[in-house]
Amino acid sequence: MMKKAMALHVVGFLVFLGFIHSQAAASVPKTYNYEIKIQNTDICTLKYVKEANFTRLCKSKRILTVNGEFLVPPFMLIEDKPSLLMHGVKQPRYPWSDGPEFITQCPIKPGGNFSQKIILSDEEGTLWWHAHSDWSRATVHGLIVIFPKIGRPYPFRKPDAEFPIILVNMKCKKRRQRYKTNVSLILIGVQMHAGEWFRQDVEAVLLDFMRTGGDPNSSDALTINGQPGDLYPCSTAETTKFIVEQGKTYMIRMVNAAMNLLMFWAIGDHEVTVVGTDGAYTKPLKSDYVTISPGQTIDLLFKANQPIGRYYIAAKPYNSQPQISFDNTTTTAIIEYKGYKKSSSHPVFPHLPKVNDTSASVNFTGSLRSLASRAHPIDVPMKITKNFLFTVSINTLPCPNNACLGPRGLRFAASVNNITFDSPSISILDAYHGRITGVYGDDFPSFPPLFFDFTAANLNRSLQTPLNATEVKVLEFNDTVELVFQGTNLVAGIDHPMHLHGHSFYVVGWGFGNFNRSKDPLGYNLVDPPLQQTIAVPKNGWTAIRFKADNPGVWLMHCHLERHISWGMEAVFITKNGSRPEEAMLPPPPDMPPCT
């Protein structure tokens, strides 16, 4: 019997599902019940995860699905109660449902149940949820769309269409009906790369590279709304197609659900206007391509203002590290104008940046700005109480007989401030709440233990071996934190999409090379920095974020490249309770799975 827990992570909040996966009974399709409860709305959705047959790339196999579907209908929410007492925090005071295993909870015992609760505060736009244990998120994920409150407009002209018709399948209650939108035109959230390992078994890929110490196998395909598209075998008949009407404006809600790849994305002959990311609005940003990190969401508008015809949507990886092998295929979908007459010509293909075009990647990401309007103000911490510099590095660990498949027979690892995260066997939240000692230490360093030329070309290999430990960084309630992520060139420099649970943060600056504390802060954007939950730290560069620690609890921070999490690129913050009851963590739910 292999024990397995599944965590469902929602960007900004996290939902957890625990189940036990029995390998012995692998021939019987399995079903796991779970429930997601969304507080502050009348809407709740019951779903179950189960294995189902699935055919892609000329091959059928059994994969984990939600309700037997590979592409899950988005949850549509309108939050029309007042915001909770705290502004700008996520899953406020309630880390209990944030759930990465052994960080905020322990796996659920056979036959046990655990209800997940999402607490909304000020999020608006697109978020998503996904499995957060092993690599199950490859197939178990979906969008969450949060509309403006009733009577409150979008900060841009309302698009003509954006609703998926599959909305009718959802078990939602009456409040949804109050949102009056004509659903006859359908362009749904482009849920990118909803599956990549069609030929290989994704959990086997995980076990394999963790055992060998090498890189994981590349995925087999990338997808848009579950379909690889015309450039893959046995796929053309099912390529995702969107029908649009000339002259109308459409909203695309996009998430990069790929496991290990940042992506470039574009539509042939059409410019797009980005209006939001990670559940917060941005200033309109016109661009002919988009860069999106794993874990990130982007909302954009596009106007069907071209001649009647067919146009490709295409997406492919951005990868800055030539030494790694990766899936460099291109996934496509088709936008077809109403009135299009069948012809033999191919849809218009977009121009996408080169696969290693770092400047295209950072130009896009670095152009995002908060809306920072009266209706959507920002609140950037100006007086900083805690300054941190965290290096994010790829590392190596020794391997018996140098028989591993990492560099020079070693085993790959990854670290934050030279600590590769050692997962405890009871959850840090349980240990913190129950004052259990010996589970974690509170000595996570504020600065790298060693200062060297982090981004130099040939670093001394003796620097490559990290410490292995379970240390947390403790914050006082209301601490205002500036955290600079410093990429290093240890082993091999690469972009790291860093994600913090329980908070959104302002991205106030970034650059290439080493962060310089006397010079770089002078260039910070404190006027309209974007509010994000995942930010790609550029290869051999740095990124500065600011946030207020007003969400008491235990919060994971990690790189959103799955292989880097698997290698230990994680750290944990504990934010202590404040002085008043409403500044304290809420009590655990009665069905919290026990750790022993």
What is the bridge-based pairing of β-strands 6-10 and 386-397?
A: unpaired
One residue of 462, 581, 590, 596 binding ligand NAG per CB under 6 A:
462
496 binds, among Cu ion, ligand NAG, none (CB under 5 to 8 A by kind): Cu ion
Among the listed residues 177, 345, 460, 596, the single contact to ligand NAG using CB under 6 A: 460
Please, are residues 489 and 394 in contact by the beta-carbon 8 Å criterion?
Answer: no
Q: Does 261 bind Cu ion (CB under 5 A)?
A: no
**Both tokens of residue 167?**
């909305």
Q: Which stretch binds Cu ion (CB under 5 A): 106-114, 138-146, 180-188, 495-503?
A: 495-503
Does the footprint of Cu ion cover residue 499 (CB under 5 A)?
A: no
Q: Which of 33, 128, 122 is nearest to 73 (CA)?
A: 128
Residue 200 interacting partner from Cu ion, ligand NAG, none (CB closer than 5 to 8 Å by kind): ligand NAG
Candidate segments 3-11, 111-119, 168-176, 489-497, binder of Cu ion by CB under 5 A: 489-497
Among residues 161 and 561, whose Cβ is nearest to Cu ion?
Answer: 561
Of 196-225, which residues contact Cu ion (CB under 5 A)?
none
- Distance in Å, CB of 126 to ligand NAG, minimum: 24
Task: Assess 31 for contact with ligand NAG (CB under 6 A).
Answer: no
Q: Which does 596 bind (CB under 5 to 8 A by kind): Cu ion, ligand NAG, none?
A: none
Whether 151 and 279 have beta carbons less than 8 Å apart is answered as no
**How many Cβ atoms from other residues are within 10 Å of residue 457's Cβ?**
8
- Is residue 15 a contact partner of residue 26, using CB atoms and an 8 Å limit? no
Calculated CA dihedral for residues 64, 69, 72, 73, nearest 10 degrees: -160
**How many C-beta atoms lie closer than 10 Å to residue 171's C-beta?**
9
Q: Where are any strands of DSSP class E within 355-504?
A: 386-397, 411-416, 419-421, 467-469, 472-475, 479-487, 496-500
- Is 579 a binding residue for ligand NAG by CB under 6 A? The answer is yes
Find tokens 């410490």 and name the residue. Answer: 467
Tell me how far, at minimum, the Cβ of 184 lies from ligand NAG, in Å.
4
- Per the listing, tokens 């009577």 go with 151
Under a CB-based contact definition with an 8 Å cutoff, are residues 78 and 120 in contact? no
Q: Residue 300's beta-bridge partner residues?
A: 252, 274
CB 513 within 8 A of CB 451: no
Binding segment toward Cu ion, per CB under 5 A, in 334-342, 482-490, 491-499, 536-544: 491-499
Minimal distance, residue 413 CB to ligand NAG, in Å: 6
Q: Specify whether the CB–CB gap between 196 and 222 falls below 8 A.
A: yes
356 binds ligand NAG per the rule CB under 6 A:
yes
Six-digit token string for 45: 């959705």
Does 519 bind ligand NAG (CB under 6 A)? Our answer is yes
83 binds, among ligand NAG, Cu ion, none (CB under 5 to 8 A by kind): none
Cβ contact 232:300 at 8 Å: no
Number of Cβ within a 10 Å radius of residue 456: 14
Q: Residue 402: which of Cu ion, ligand NAG, none does it interact with, CB under 5 to 8 A by kind?
A: none
Please give the C-alpha separations between residue 543 and each of 428, 452, 484, 494, in angstroms, as whole numbers: 27, 18, 6, 13
Q: Is residue 379 near ligand NAG by the rule CB under 6 A? A: no
**Closer to ligand NAG at the Cβ: 277 or 575?**
575
Residue from 1, 25, 26, 53 binding ligand NAG (CB under 6 A): 53
Site string for Cu ion, 539-578 (x = CB under 5 A): --------------------x-x--x--------------
Residues that bind ligand NAG (CB under 6 A): 53, 60, 111-113, 182, 184, 200, 204-205, 208, 217, 328, 353-354, 356-360, 363, 397, 413, 418, 420, 422, 449-450, 460, 462-463, 465-468, 477-478, 516, 518-519, 578-579, 583
Residues that bind Cu ion (CB under 5 A): 496, 559, 561, 564
